[in-house]
Amino acid sequence: MSEKNNNGKNKILVLGGGVAGSSAAHFLSKKGYDVTVIEKLGKCGGLSRTYRYAGHPYEFGPHVWFWPDDEINNVIRELSDDELYYIDRKLFTFVEQDNKKYRYPIHFSDIKDMPDKEEVMKQLQKHRDPDMKLKPEELPTIGDCFFGEYFKAAIGDGLYNKFMRNYTWKMWNIDGDKLKTSMVWADRFKHHYEKLKGYDPLKFEDHTLGKGIKFQVYPKRGWDHIWDRMVENSNVIHDEVDRIIDEKRPYLLTKKGDKYYFDEYHTVINTLHVDLIWGEDVLPATGRMMIPLLIPGCKKAFPEDAESLHYSSCEFQTRVTEMKVITRHESPDTLILIEVPITNDMKESCFPENAMNYALDNNLFCRRTYCQQSEEALALHKKFVDKGSHIKNLVHCGRYAEFKYWGMPETVNSAYQLSKKFEEVK
C-alpha cells in the first residue's frame, strides 16, 4: 500500500462503520489519512455497539474482549482510559435430555454426574490411552476433516450428541459433518493449538473460554465509547452502501444516490459482506434475533454467577446471557439476552412492523452474523472477492468481508495489520 493512487490523494473510504470500519478509521486517521466512513445506522460499532433496554446496557450478545497480544490490547487500554472491568467467565451448557447443566467447555469431571456415564466413558476411551490422553495418530487431521468427524473421534458420539450435534445445526444452520474444522479455532486460540494435531475439546482441569488469557475485559463506559473514539477524527456519513457500478470508471452507489469514484481514493476498505457490495444477497450465513428479557424485581437470575448458558438441544435459543454479569450495571432488575438463530432468507416482514422497527433501531435483528464455514460458501466468497480484484484499490477487512468466525480482537487486529501496510502521510 505504499503507492499513492494516480491522483496522489490521501483519502480513504471505509464501507461500514462496525468494529472493522471504526478500527480502520482509527489506525489510518492516526497515520494522517483523510478517512470517510459510510455507515447505515445512526452510530458506529455494529454488532459490538452498546445499546440500552430499560436503562440496562447490552451489546448484540455477550461482548467480552480476550486476546493474548498486548499490541492490540493496548489500543483498548488507551481508548478506554484503562477503565475496564476484568471478567472471570463462567459458562454452562444446559442439556435437556439429562435435565442438567454442565460446565462449558465440556469437563471430564462432569461426566460422573451424567445419567449415561458408563456408556459415555466407554466411547470416550476409544481413542485415548489409559491416562485419557488422546492418541493424535488415530484422529482425523484438523483442517482436512469436518467438525463432526473430529469431535466424534475425540469425545465420542455420546458427548457429541449431548453438547454439539444440535448446537452446531442451530449455530451454523449446517450439519457438523459438513462444517469445516478451520472455523473451530478462532485466531485468538491459534497459539494454543499450534500443532493442531491432538487438540482435546475435553477439559481435565478448571477451564473457561479463553483460559490463560489475562486480558478479558469489558469497558466500564460500554463498547460504544470505544467505537466513538475510534471514529472521532473521521468523517462519518450515515448512508447505506447499495452496490458497485463496475463501469470504465467504477464507483460505489449509495441508497441516497451518492456516487463515490474509486479513483478518487487512495484505498477503499470494504468491511461488508462481499456479495452485498455487488448488490447481491447469496452468501450463506446464520443470523440472530436478540430478545431482551427484563425480569423486574429479580436482581440476579443465573446460578453460580454464570455469564451465559448455552442450550445444546433443539430449543429455539442458542445462548442466553445475563448482561449485568458483564456490564456490572446496578439495578433491582436484571436483563437477559436470548439469542435466537435466524436464517438467510428470513424476512423482516415476518414480524410485526412496530416490533421490527424497534429491533432494527436497536440492532436486535441481524440476518447474517455467522458466515457459514462450508466449502461451498467459502468458494462463493472467493468468487465475489475475485470479481472485484481488478479494482486495485479495493481491499476487504473484518468478520464479514473476510468471511471469518472472528471476535472483536481478531477484527481489530485485521484492521491493524492492514494499516501497517500504509505509509504515514507527512
Ligand X SMILES: Cc1cc2nc3c(=O)[nH]c(=O)nc-3n(C[C@H](O)[C@H](O)[C@H](O)COP(=O)(O)OP(=O)(O)OC[C@H]3O[C@@H](n4cnc5c(N)ncnc54)[C@H](O)[C@@H]3O)c2cc1C
CA pair distance 284, 286, nearest whole angstrom: 7
| CA-to-CA dists, residue 386 to 334, 381, 390, angstroms | 47, 9, 8
Q: Which of residues 317-346 bind ligand X (CB under 6 A)?
A: 339
Judged by beta carbon, residue 298 or residue 360, the one nearer ligand X is: 360
- 48 lines the binding site for ligand X (CB under 6 A): yes
Contact residue for ligand X among 398, 413, 416, 418 (CB under 6 A): 398
Half-sphere exposure of 192 (CA within 13 A, CB side): 16
Residue 266's Cα: distance from chain center in Å? 29
Nearer to ligand X among residue 49 and residue 165 (C-beta):
49
Closest CA to 19 of 315, 415, 418: 415
Q: CA separation (Å) from 74 to 120, 160, 412?
A: 44, 38, 12
- In the block, cell 439495578 appears at 331
Angle between helices 70-79 and 223-230 (to 10 degrees): 100
Least distance in angstroms from the C-beta of 363 to ligand X: 8
Give yes or no for residue 46 binding ligand X (CB under 6 A): yes
Does 50 engage in binding with ligand X (CB under 6 A)? no
The residue within the footprint of ligand X, chosen from 51, 408, 413, 422 (CB under 6 A), is 408
Stretch that binds ligand X, among 45-53, 73-81, 123-131, 418-426 (CB under 6 A): 45-53
* Of 181, 411, 413, 419, the one binding ligand X by CB under 6 A: 411
Compare residues 108 and 169 and give the one whose CB is closer to ligand X: 169
CB of 39 to ligand X, least distance (A): 5
| Residue 27 engages ligand X in binding (rule: CB under 6 A) | no
**Residue 142: strand, helix, or coil:** coil
State which of residues 47, 111, 134, 139 lies at the interface with ligand X (CB under 6 A).
47
Residues 57-96 that bind ligand X (CB under 6 A): 60-65
H/E segment holding residue 380: helix 375-387
Give the three cell numbers for residue 397: 477487512
25: contact with ligand X by CB under 6 A:
no
Closest C-alpha to 23, from 401, 365, 342: 401
Eight-class DSSP state of 164: I
Q: Which of 12, 13, 19, 154 binds ligand X (CB under 6 A)?
A: 19
Map residue 319 onto helix, strand or coil.
strand
State which of residues 94, 215, 262, 406 lies at the interface with ligand X (CB under 6 A): 406
Task: Please give the Cα distance from 329 to 205 (Å, whole number).
Answer: 31
d(CA 271, CA 262): 16
126's grid cell: 476409544
What character string, x for contact with ligand X (CB under 6 A) and - otherwise, covers 151-190?
Answer: ----------------------------------------
Interacting residues with ligand X between 253 and 272 (CB under 6 A): 271-272
Closer to ligand X by CB, 60 or 262: give it.
Answer: 60
Please check whether residue 287 is in contact with residue 368, taking contact to mean a CB–CB distance below 8 angstroms. Answer: yes
8 A C-beta contact, residue 19 and residue 398: yes
Tell me the window of 171-179, 292-300, 341-349, 400-408 that interacts with ligand X (CB under 6 A).
Answer: 400-408
**Radius of gyration of the chain, Cα coordinates, nearest whole angstrom:** 22
Are 265 and 13 within 8 A, CB to CB?
A: yes
The verdict on 286 binding ligand X (CB under 6 A) reads no
- Residue in 26, 56, 170, 288 binding ligand X, rule: CB under 6 A: 288
> Which one of residues 1, 41, 253, 291 is an interface residue with ligand X (CB under 6 A)?
41
Q: Which is nearer to ligand X, 158 or 341 (CB)?
A: 341
Which spans of this chain sit near ligand X (rule: CB under 6 A)? 16-21, 38-41, 46-48, 60-65, 240-241, 271-272, 276, 288, 339, 369, 398-400, 406-409, 411
